[in-house]
Amino acid sequence: MERGHLPIMPQEIIEYLCMSSPELVVDGTSGGGGHTSLLSEAIPHGRVLAFERDPTAAEKLSSRFTGTNVSVIYSSYTGIPAIMEKGSFPQAGGALFDLGLSSIQLDTPDRGFSHRTTGPLDMRFDRSQGKPASEVLRAMTEKQIADAIYRYGEEGRSRAIARAVKQSRRLLTTDDLAEAVRSVVKGNPVKPLARVFQAVRILVNGELDHLEKLLSEMYLWTGSGCRVAVLTFHSLEDRMIKLHFRDSEHFRQNDPPWMLPAAAEKRANPRARSARLRLGVRL
């Protein structure tokens, strides 16, 4: 049975984004709709624009929020400027980005995101576009794979793992990739497995390219004083957000610039353990 996705730091995020009752809030990664629903309740007289890149998730969100103050849009958050301009929406007074993937995606074996379940090695957020992970990896050289595992997964054994990936006789399922990792890791393979799967997911979905485009255009659709909250899960994306809020001519860091989930939340929700909430303000 499909389990839900628990929104991370819900209270902190709603307080930060909705304190001044903004007219329009953007949820750039609506996923299971947990944060979207809280935003919708927090600004009953305002509107929430909920973006989602995964068509399966977007369809569920559309039925869930029919007849509410939420407009669901099946699009990457890189489409925000064009969609807001086309719809003549006012500039946003708040924006949320909860990066990465949802528990629903992780727990669905045929999406291929998890090393814990058997499924096709796919990992695309949007299966109507691009190529599945199995094909992406097959087309890469050993060095390219090693670089991706090192950069996006921060895994030290990247070269040996990349060699095993290239040498594996079959690379069609999550088990095939997991087997390649296990073949070179001595000791408990859980962390290297998680890092390699994260790296391949970031690679297949071009996640950092989308993030870079989002950041470079965010000034176009945010109004002065707009508060932006970003939940990050690994150091590369966290650093990109930090530098943008710190150095961009259009944004400043909030004081405090970031927050971590409380101990009780980390105990109740394992996914919260690696989360960091970055806070910025549009100048």
Binding site for ligand SAM (CB under 6 A): 5, 7, 28-29, 31-35, 51-54, 57, 76-77, 98, 100-102, 125, 210
* Closest to ligand SAM by CB, 36 or 158: 36
User: Which residues partner with 51 through β-bridges?
Assistant: 73
Closest contact distance (angstroms) between CB of 79 and ligand SAM is: 8
- Return the number of the residue (77 or 245) whose C-beta is nearest ligand SAM: 77
Least Cβ distance, residue 37 to ligand SAM (angstroms): 8
Q: How far is the CB of 202 from ligand SAM (least distance, A)?
A: 10
Residue among 171 and 237 whose Cβ is closer to ligand SAM: 237
CB of 255 to ligand SAM, least distance (A): 25
Cα 172 from Cα 162, distance rounded (Å): 16
Rounded-to-integer distance, Cα 85 and Cα 83, Å: 5
What lies within 8 Å, CB to CB, of 266 at 6+ separation is 272, 273
Q: Residue 183 or residue 274: which is nearer to ligand SAM going by CB?
A: 274
Task: Please report the DSSP string for 28-85 in residue order.
Answer: S--TTSHHHHHHHHH-TTSEEEEEES-HHHHHHHHHHTTTSSEEEEES-GGGHHHHHH
Closer to ligand SAM by Cβ: residue 35 or 242: 35
List residues bridging with 71 in a β-sheet.
49
Contact between 50 and 74 under an 8 Å Cβ cutoff? The reply is: no
Tell me the closest approach of the beta carbon of residue 188 to ligand SAM, in angstroms: 26
